A and B are shown apart, each in its own frame.
Chain A
Amino acid sequence: MIRLLHNVKIDWLAQRRYWLIFSSILMLAGLGSAVTRQLAPGGTGAFNLGVDFKAGTLMRARFNQRPSEDAIRTALEQKGVQGALVQSTDKPNEVLIKVPQQGSGEQAQEQAQVDVGRTLTAEALTSLGPEVGGQIDSTDAVSAAAGRALRNQAIAVTLLALVGVLLYIGSRFEWTYGAAAVITVFHDVLVTLGIFSIMQWEIDLTVIAALLTLVGFSVNDTIVTFDRIRENLRLHRRTSLYDLTNEAINQTLSRTIITAGLVFFSVLAMVVFGGDVLRGFSLALFIGIIVGTYSTIAIATPIMVWFQQRLEPAKRTTVAPAGGTVATGGGAVAGGRGAKSKSAARGSQRTARS
């Protein structure tokens, strides 16, 4: 039998301060990037939003003989297309052309830019000459109103899905578990979005799908650990929640590593072989898997333990070993059980749900 991480005994919760600091730095860095980019004059905005969320037209053009990106840009400018972005893709005869909303005023808000971007670009490509053979292969044109609607919908739907998670976990476990799981998912989404802001990777609808996948994966991971904690609570009624949580993380560690590792490598395959159509999607998943696995240990369990200790004093079952003194108020119990006393002192409250 090959064994990975057998019988590990790591005091994960002891490191919670460092986890918290690390996560805070990550989130603050993302927030900082978003805020400075948003406020910087002439900047790109908090995120590099794709046309799905920001009005404009994204086209993929194919050529028989690909001209230089500058030549394409010049041709576009001659047709009056302002601020076009021309990027090469992973195919030699193909370019991506991103045209922001054309024109101004009420008309451009709605109708014009959905039509004009493509029409003008098609004209510009034709003007490059027949031997170049430029053709638009695909278009995504979204008006400002539709972009707004798509963005609001993506946010609303993600939040609703989280409410569903909160309700289910709340009913199966305790509401503190549900709250901890939801906070963890928020953390994961924020960190991932922060990295997208820092790296200026483009966010489009497929990235949203990846974020939803990451939510599913992260919650799944968290529940596996919570389930084990619940089971341990039933089996060992006299051990502290702190110790039981550590034990649960250690018991499920090999499963966590194997599952996360396998999914991680599958996603890596997608980053490598998926091509640039799937790039945003696979990058978001790639980061999400790492963050989602880390956050179960570093965020979900410490928060849950903390909630149980601080926010539910009424439900507390203080476990005072023989000879121990019970200190009220701070939630700390001085334990007298030799090797376990250190951790017991950190919090021996536990809440068992029958």
Chain B
Amino acid sequence: MKKNILRRVIIIAIVTIACLYIVLGPRRRDAAGALQWPKANDFTYAGIKRTLSENIRLGLDLKGGSHLVMQVQTGTYLKKLTEDLAPALENAAKSAGYNVQSVTPNTSGGNYQVVLTAADASKLSEIRDELPKKIDLSYWTSSVSGNTVTWTLPQGAQRTLSDQAVDQAYRIVDSRINAVGVAEPTLQRHGGQGSNQILLQMPGIQDPERIKKLIAGESRLELMKVVSPPNPSPMKTYATEEEAKASLGGQVPPNRRVLPYSERDEPTAAGETATPDPNRPTQWVVVESPAVVDGSELRSADAAQGSGGGDSNYEIDFTLKPTGADKFGAWTGANVGAYMAVVLNNRVESAPFIKSQITDRGQITGNFTEQSAKDLALTLRSGALPAPLVYLEERTVGPSLGADSIRAGVTSALGGLLLVILFMVFYYRGSGVNAVVALLLNMIITIASLVVFDATLTLPGIAGLILTIGMTVDTNVLIFERIREELETGKTVASAVDQGFARAFVTVIDTHVTTIVSSLFLFVFGTGPIRGFAVTLILGLLANLFSAVYVSRTIFIWILNRKGRRAETLSI
């Protein structure tokens, strides 16, 4: 018995000291990166408070900050993919010498298909087998019927591609946040598979408007050829969209696009500065699709002040990667005199004509202020998002509100704790002290586990702690009531304690395992607040099995040892 109790006391002491150190020990590191020993001033009230706030990671609801859930519009991505495939297929088929009537994309009702209609139905199988050699069609399944070949994107491929798009968007958002310099951001995929969501948390940021715009900035840059007689005749523009479409025979073929253009000045040679005039009406131009080069070929983009004066006189200078430069150089060399549209997010920003061959440089001019030019350059550098981002949730918490929540939560938790302690000592006398020790130890162990697992303490987490307090009290009450019952049947104190623990233990295990099992479900399938609740509850219940059963038992053994095995009374 003596040896047994010694071992128990040692285990308890080690756990208690370790947990106390984890919770209250400072994590300062010296210059060499080694942990520093606590100093005397770490044990003052202010010191403990500081260490606590460093060790316990608070959720945004307690600390203040922004919580943004965004969704990648993968439908748009798949649609664009399908629409881009159509002209590519048409060009490939034509260049292989097949007589193709039409190639049309179909993206209605969650289907992504491209239908190719051939003049000669007997060539269909040949076309179907030949085209994948020129274009990557590995995600698409093809089928032949009548005089058409249909390429369809099956569900599985849609999911794979959507997932890739979300991953790509994730990386882009990540690089954009890093470029802006947000402190300690958390970025993660959010929701289940197929929800296409990204969660961004930024502590300390109360007004995320600018960052929101920056992150979701589409900045899809394309350099395209304008369908127009070459310089020196003026660029062909249309007053309305309908007029532009009419020039194409009423319907826009896959290899043409009609885009709005706010003319700021007469077309100038690339490199010359335009004089902004925002009052000119919007016009429309027809451009050739696909683009000569697009944003994925960008090597750098920087904001620069234009030569004119004024606040809105900034432009973005960009350079192209070698592959893009080759394409661009070849195209500009062959198209001297043609008009080139600098298209940003489906809008023609400027349309200079090609004076001479350009290889890897260009600029985007427009009504940019310093800030907007810098933000645009940043989003251009990080690459274009594969699909638009839409914000589903935006939560911001001011630091004072978070502090209020902590105060309210802690005050009421402490109030409850005090009440419980008073009652237990009043009702169970000596044994009540057991319960109090178990309760305090439980809190220390639970918080220490939160620190160790680097879990975040949120408002629902505090709810979990309160339920843990309830369960600790319940465990103690169960055991004590059982010991009382056993004493009543005339058992000796020692055997009543033994029996009381043994009998109550079954119940304690059942209640704890049930709650842990249901909390595990919450942890696995829940997100955000529900998860925070589950984590604290699971950790608290595990700690409770130790503190309310093992530790409490040890104290009883110790008391009985002092009184001797023949003890007649027990303060309970």
Chain A residues within CB distance 8 Å of chain B: 1-2, 4, 60, 62, 110-111, 114-115, 118-119, 136-143, 145-146, 149, 153-154, 156-157, 160-165, 167-169, 172, 205-206, 208-210, 212-213, 215-217, 219-220, 223-224, 227-228, 231, 251-252, 254-255, 258-259, 262-263, 265-267, 269-270, 272-275, 277-278, 281-282, 285
Bound Cα distance from A136 to B401, whole angstroms: 11
Whether the pair B408, A217 counts as a contact (CB closer than 8 A) is: no
Closest to B216 in A: A111
Whether the pair A209, B529 counts as a contact (CB closer than 8 A) is: yes
For B401, the chain A residues whose CB sits under 8 A away are 60, 137-138, 277
B446-490 toward A: CB 8 Å interface, digit per residue (1/0)? 000000000000011001101101110110011001001100000
Q: Does B147 contact A (CB under 8 A)?
A: no
Whether the pair B525, A60 counts as a contact (CB closer than 8 A) is: no
Q: Does B550 contact A (CB under 8 A)?
A: no
Contacts A2-B427, A258-B477, A259-B477 given: A164-B530 contact, CB under 8 Å?
no
A-B contact pairs, 11 of them (CB 8 A): A2-B427, A139-B394, A141-B394, A157-B522, A157-B525, A160-B522, A161-B519, A162-B518, A169-B514, A217-B467, A277-B405
Whether the pair A254, B481 counts as a contact (CB closer than 8 A) is: yes
Contact of B485 among A212, A224, A251, A266 (CB under 8 A): A251
B405-420 toward A: CB 8 Å interface, digit per residue (1/0)? 1001101110111011
Q: Does B400 contact A (CB under 8 A)?
A: yes
> What's the least CB distance linking A105 to chain B, in Å?
15
For A154, the chain B residues whose CB sits under 8 A away are 530
Chain B residues within CB distance 8 Å of chain A: 69, 71, 191, 195, 209, 212, 390-398, 400-401, 404-405, 408-409, 411-413, 415-417, 419-420, 423, 426-427, 429, 459-460, 463-464, 466-467, 469-471, 473-474, 477-478, 481, 484-485, 503, 506-507, 510-511, 513-515, 517-522, 525-530, 533, 537, 572
Closest to B537 in A: A216
Per DSSP, chain B at the interface is helix
For B412, the chain A residues whose CB sits under 8 A away are 266, 269-270, 272-274, 278, 282
Whether the pair B408, A213 counts as a contact (CB closer than 8 A) is: no
- How many A-B contacts if CB must be within 8 Å? 218
Whether the pair B466, A266 counts as a contact (CB closer than 8 A) is: yes
Whether the pair A139, B396 counts as a contact (CB closer than 8 A) is: yes
For B507, the chain A residues whose CB sits under 8 A away are 223-224, 227-228
Bound Cα distance from A115 to B401, whole angstroms: 21
For A140, the chain B residues whose CB sits under 8 A away are 394-395
For A172, the chain B residues whose CB sits under 8 A away are 510, 513
Per DSSP, chain A at the interface is helix
Contacts A142-B392, A219-B518 given: A227-B398 contact, CB under 8 Å?
no
Whether the pair B398, A60 counts as a contact (CB closer than 8 A) is: yes
For B413, the chain A residues whose CB sits under 8 A away are 266, 270
Whether the pair A266, B506 counts as a contact (CB closer than 8 A) is: no
Bound Cα distance from A231 to B486, whole angstroms: 14
Bound Cα distance from A228 to B485, whole angstroms: 13
Contacts A224-B507, A262-B470, A263-B473 given: A1-B572 contact, CB under 8 Å?
yes
Bound Cα distance from A115 to B208, whole angstroms: 10
Contact of B518 among A206, A215, A255 (CB under 8 A): A215
Whether the pair A167, B392 counts as a contact (CB closer than 8 A) is: no
Whether the pair B398, A111 counts as a contact (CB closer than 8 A) is: no
Whether the pair A219, B514 counts as a contact (CB closer than 8 A) is: yes
Bound Cα distance from A1 to B569, whole angstroms: 11
Bound Cα distance from A62 to B409, whole angstroms: 21
Whether the pair B511, A223 counts as a contact (CB closer than 8 A) is: yes
Whether the pair A143, B398 counts as a contact (CB closer than 8 A) is: no
Whether the pair B530, A224 counts as a contact (CB closer than 8 A) is: no
Contacts A209-B460, A216-B515 given: A263-B477 contact, CB under 8 Å?
no
For A282, the chain B residues whose CB sits under 8 A away are 412
Which 5 pairs show the lowest CB-CB distances between chains A and B? A266-B416, A146-B392, A137-B398, A161-B518, A209-B460
Whether the pair B195, A111 counts as a contact (CB closer than 8 A) is: no
Contact of B411 among A138, A208, A255, A273 (CB under 8 A): A273
Bound Cα distance from A333 to B315, whole angstroms: 95
Whether the pair B419, A265 counts as a contact (CB closer than 8 A) is: yes
Bound Cα distance from A119 to B191, whole angstroms: 27
> What's the least CB distance linking A25 to chain B, in Å?
28
Closest to A94 in B: B401
For A228, the chain B residues whose CB sits under 8 A away are 507
Whether the pair B517, A164 counts as a contact (CB closer than 8 A) is: yes
Bound Cα distance from A114 to B572, whole angstroms: 58
> What's the least CB distance linking B561 to chain A, in Å?
22
Bound Cα distance from A231 to B408, whole angstroms: 42
Whether the pair A270, B518 counts as a contact (CB closer than 8 A) is: no
For B460, the chain A residues whose CB sits under 8 A away are 205-206, 209
Bound Cα distance from A281 to B416, whole angstroms: 15
Whether the pair B404, A277 counts as a contact (CB closer than 8 A) is: yes
Bound Cα distance from A136 to B64, whole angstroms: 13
Closest to A226 in B: B510
Whether the pair A164, B391 counts as a contact (CB closer than 8 A) is: no
Contacts A209-B463, A259-B473, A262-B470 given: A111-B526 contact, CB under 8 Å?
no
Whether the pair A149, B510 counts as a contact (CB closer than 8 A) is: no
Bound Cα distance from A215 to B507, whole angstroms: 17
Whether the pair A270, B466 counts as a contact (CB closer than 8 A) is: yes
